[in-house]
Amino acid sequence: MILPGIIHGMTRKRLILATRNAGKITELHAILADAGLDLELVGADAYPDVPDVKETGVTFAENALLKAHALARATGLPAVADDSGLCVDVLNGAPGIFSARWAGTHGDDRANLNLLLAQLSDIDDTHRAAHFACAAALALPDGTERVVEGRMEGTLRHTPAGTNGFGYDPILQPEGHEVTCAELTPQQKNAISHRGKAFRALVPVVQELLG
């Protein structure tokens, strides 16, 4: 996905986001536009020859930086990347960076959710605190880097509810709400989400490094 880069005959600075998810690109573009930043934002699919990066870091920040630096080196452009997951207090922060492959197969949302619920089946409501965490990184081709983070606190339901969202959304009830993330509208979720908070925290960094 590429958002138009020419306005009144002038070429805008290009920023690449390490994702092929059009929703993420639209979300970041809206946040940058709201802040008055006139940038051309493109996704990784604009550079199909650039391979995906293995997430070998042990923290969300490390994985975000790995992806951002790899993309910046490969394209010669400033690059943004994010990494996120669910952190459960009683599991000492797990699944954490392993959230997408908690049950063994990357991206099997149903298996991941079912395994986590089984692991927490004997845990009562007072000990089911959890949060979604996101690290967003900006890397420049010269090696300059910045990382910011966002969190969405909540508690885990015993059974899934809602059909919106993905991953663990059907079992996390955000703090201050009576429904799960999967029962919120996309607009409601974006307003309080960990990724939205991280992307908004990235705005002053983009302003500092890209102008």
pLDDT value for 126: 95
Domain range annotation of the chain: 6-210
Average pLDDT across the chain, whole number = 92
Tell me the per-residue pLDDT of 5-21, one tens digit each, with 9 for 90 and over.
433 334 578 999 999 88
Read off the DSSP letter of residue 33: H
Structure tokens at 138: 């900006």
Helices (H) and strands (E) in the chain, counts: 5, 8
Measured CA to CA, the distance from residue 128 to residue 16 in angstroms comes to 37
pLDDT value for 11: 59
Is residue 83 part of the annotated active site? The answer reads: yes
pLDDT value for 190: 87
Element (H, E) at 26: helix 22-34
Residue 89 near residue 116, CB atoms below 8 Å = no
The CATH number assigned to the domain with range 6-210 reads 3.90.950.10
pLDDT value for 6: 35
- Residue 143 dihedral angles phi and psi, to the nearest 5°: 100, -10
Q: Which segments in the chain show pLDDT lower than 50?
A: 2-10
pLDDT value for 186: 87
Catalytic residue among 49, 52, 83, 108: 83
pLDDT value for 2: 46
